[in-house]
Chain A
C-alpha cells in the first residue's frame, strides 16, 4: 500500500486494521502523543486517530510542536 507521508511516497505492508494511531507507532513518529495529523487536507481531532483507517493513496502530514524562538 502506498501513502504519502510528509511529502514522501511511502510504502507500507497491506494491513486492513491500520489506523492513524497505529501508523504513528509503526512509523515511530516523534512527539507521538502530541503530533497533529492532517489527512488528505483535513486536520484530524485526536480522539479519531484510533478509529480512522489508513487507505491507499492517503496523503498524511505530521505537524509538530515547536516551542522555541529565543
Chain B
C-alpha cells in the first residue's frame, strides 16, 4: 500500500494510465542493478531513484576523479576520492528515502557476476570497456536476465535492450570483442558530457517500462544517436542463428573474462 506521502511524491506517475497506483507499486517492488557508476550509470541511478524503483544495486570499484565530473552528474566536487558507489548511494538516498541501495565496490568478473545479478529484475550496462560489456551480455543471456546495453563515444551513442531467448543479444551483432586498443575508449578519444545523459535516460526508461510491463522495449532493434547531427535512428535486428551464445549451436556455455579485450587504459580507468 502506498502511503499518503508516496501518493503525493509519485502523483505525476500515478495519474498516468500506464502507471497508476499498481504500476507505482511495481516500481517500488522492482530491483535494478546498475553496473558502472559513471557517465551512463549516473543518470540511470538518479532517474530510477526519483521514480521510486525500490531496490537499486550499483557495482563499481572506482573512486571519483576530477575528470569524471564533466559528465558523471551523480558525483560532486566534494566527492573526489570517495568510492563511486558510496557517492552514488548518498545522492540516491537524498533524492528518495524509499529506495534501498545495495553497493558492490568491485569490478564484475566471470567469477562474481552471476552472484551479483541473481537478485535483480533488470540490469543496466553502464560500463566503459568491451570485456565488461561482453561479460554482462553473456552472464545475462546464460541466466536469462533482461538488460540494457549502452555504448558511447565522442558524440555518438547506441543502446539496445536484450531479452534473452526472445530478442537478439549483443553477440548476435558483435560475435566477439574487438582486439584490444582497436576501438578507442572515451578516455582516449573524448566524450561530450551530455551524451551519457541522453543515452542513460533512455536506458532508465527501458528499465521502468520493463518493470511496468508497458510499452514497446528497444528489443530487436538498436537505437543510435548522433549528437552532432541531432538525429536518432533505430535499426531492426534479428537474432543471429550463428550467435556464439544464443544461436543454434552455442560455443559459449560458461562465463570467462575476455582478457584480450581489456586494455591497460581500461584497467586503470575502468
Contact = CB atoms under 8 A, between A and B. Distances in A.
Contact of A43 (B173, B178, B186, B191): B173
A69 B152 contact: yes
B238 A68 contact: no
B153 A38 contact: no
B126 A70 contact: yes
Contact of B182 (A33, A43, A69): A33
Interface in A17-34: 31, 33-34
A70 B72 contact: yes
A69 B233 contact: no
Nearest to A43: B240
B36 interface: yes
Interface stretch (B16-24, B89-97, B128-136): B128-136
Contacts of B128: 67-70
A46 B242 CA distance: 11
A69 B151 contact: yes
- The residue in A63, A65, A66 that gathers the most chain B C-beta atoms within 10 A of its C-beta is A66
Nearest to A62: B235
Interface in B140-182: 150-153, 156-158, 172-175, 178, 182
Interface of A: 6-7, 31, 33-34, 36, 38, 41-43, 45-46, 61, 63-70
